[in-house]
Amino acid sequence: MKIKILSKKYLGENAERYDMRRSSGVKWKKEQLTFETLIKNIPKKSKIIDVPVGTGRFIDLYKKYQMDVSGIDMSEDMLRECAKKAEIQNYPVYLKQGSIFNIEYKDNSFDVAVCIRFLNWINTRDFELAISELCRVANEHLIIGIRNYTSLKDFALSYQGAAGIARQIIRRAYKIVNREGLVVHAKKHIFKTFKKHDLNIVRSVCIERSANGTEYYFYFLRKNNI
């Protein structure tokens, strides 16, 4: 999805009702549980940049584990919802409007950079730019969520049938994205990007494996140059 379109996607009611429309879902709940298993291993008082921070869905976990949090989002309305949540939690979170492609902080300003549910909306080039910026501002770890194509071998094991495999070959050949503009990345390219930025996978967790031949993973990454 084009960034200009994406920047207008979460305004008004879409921002106000964002959590309510998603928080009862199985994927959302597994994301929350997985994120907690990752964040609790990070030292207390660590400095975290969450971008895009959205409605601040992880504020309760940041508070629980005593993190020092800053958040950036393109949407002023999402930031407003996040500020409300931080106020209710009585937990300070520094928020400002901005872009993941130009994070207005100095190199290595944070211990951890978090990016959940955004990388699935941008193309390959923008994915690389986003990872580059996250690596620049984080001096230790990244926590990201991203969707990739299931390997044909794994897909065949999970969803048997030549017709299903054929559909995936066609889907990949034409690089189809769904009607909402969701982008599915090639796992090979994801790992290539990690290697390019000298990122080591400390832990990966499959959040969702879909019958459409895609997988959604959380990655806990460590910069090898620290």
pTM value? 0.87
Is residue 119 assigned to a domain?
Answer: yes
Domain residues for the domain of 87 are 3-149+181-223
Calculate the average pLDDT of the chain. 88
Is residue 165 assigned to a domain?
Answer: no
Is residue 167 assigned to a domain?
Answer: no
Confidence (pLDDT) at 171: 54
pLDDT band at 165 (very low <50, low <70, confident <90, very high): low
Question: Helix, strand, or coil here: 173?
Answer: helix
Contacts of 198 (CB under 8 A, 6+ apart): 223, 224, 225
CB atoms within 10 A of CB 63: 16
Rg for the chain (alpha carbons), in Å? Answer: 18
Confidence (pLDDT) at 33: 97
Confidence (pLDDT) at 174: 40
Average pLDDT over residues 162-182: 55
Give tens-digit pLDDT for 133-153. 999 999 999 999 999 987 655
Confidence (pLDDT) at 25: 92
Residue 157: pLDDT above 60? no
Distances 221 to 73, 143, 158, 178, 197 between C-alpha atoms, Å: 22, 6, 27, 28, 11
Dist. CA 222–CA 135, nearest whole Å: 10
Task: Tokens for 19, please give them.
Answer: 């959590």
Q: What percent of the chain has pLDDT over 90?
A: 69
Distances 63 to 2, 46, 112, 162 between C-alpha atoms, Å: 34, 12, 15, 49
Q: Are 178 and 149 in contact (CB under 8 A)?
A: no
Is residue 106 assigned to a domain?
Answer: yes
Q: Are 149 and 184 in contact (CB under 8 A)?
A: yes
Is residue 162 assigned to a domain?
Answer: no
Give tens-digit pLDDT for 80-121. 999 999 999 999 999 999 999 999 999 999 999 999 999 999
Q: Would you give the distance in Å from CA 144 to the centre of its chain? A: 4
Q: Are 15 and 77 in contact (CB under 8 A)?
A: yes
Q: Name the E strands within 11-109.
A: 47-50, 68-73, 93-97
Q: Are 219 and 204 in contact (CB under 8 A)?
A: yes
pLDDT band at 122 (very low <50, low <70, confident <90, very high): very high
Residue 219: pLDDT above 80? yes
In degrees and rounded to multiples of 5, residue 208 shows phi and psi of -155, 135
Confidence (pLDDT) at 183: 87
Q: Are 42 and 67 in contact (CB under 8 A)?
A: yes
The CATH number of the domain holding residue 18 is 3.40.50.150
Average pLDDT over residues 55-63: 97
Is residue 187 assigned to a domain?
Answer: yes
Is residue 104 assigned to a domain?
Answer: yes
Q: For residues 74 and 178, which has the higher predicted lDDT (pLDDT)? A: 74
Q: Looking at the chain, how many residues does it have?
A: 226
- How many independent structural domains does the chain possess? 1
Contacts of 195 (CB under 8 A, 6+ apart): none
Is residue 166 assigned to a domain?
Answer: no
